[in-house]
Amino acid sequence: MDKFAALTEPNRRRIIELIAVNGEITSTDISSKFDISAPAVSQHLKVLRETGLVFVKKRAQQRIYSINPEGIDEMWEWLNQLRTHWNARFDALDALLLKEHNKPKGKKR
């Protein structure tokens, strides 16, 4: 699964938001924020780990999650490429509309 597909699931987006806001957060604390089972949250975290969106480190019996900046940066780079493409297209459209708007009007009889 790719990063964008992983984020189509609303619970995973919410998990990412929780981790981003907290910096680091345990899986137990993440699970406490959801009305779904701990194993279901664990599966969502697994998907986020496997797609490279989050890191996990073990401290004693805890699993602590944080955002993987490289995973997020990869998504930003792709989005910025699209933005650059579309901005160029919109700039061309603006230029065309301005040119059409500034054309001399035909004479009225």
Q: What residue segments make up the domains of the chain, in order of their start? A: 3-67, 69-103
Class of domain 3-67: mainly alpha
Could you list the mean pLDDT of each consecutive 10-residue stretch along the chain, which spans 109 residues?
93 97 96 96 97 95 95 84 83 86 73
What is the pLDDT at residue 67?
A: 96
C-alpha closest to that of 58 among 14, 17, 29, 27: 27
Q: Residue 67 in contact with residue 20, Cβ under 8 Å?
A: yes
CA distances (Å), origin 21, targets 17, 47, 67: 6, 20, 10
Q: State residue 108's pLDDT score.
A: 58
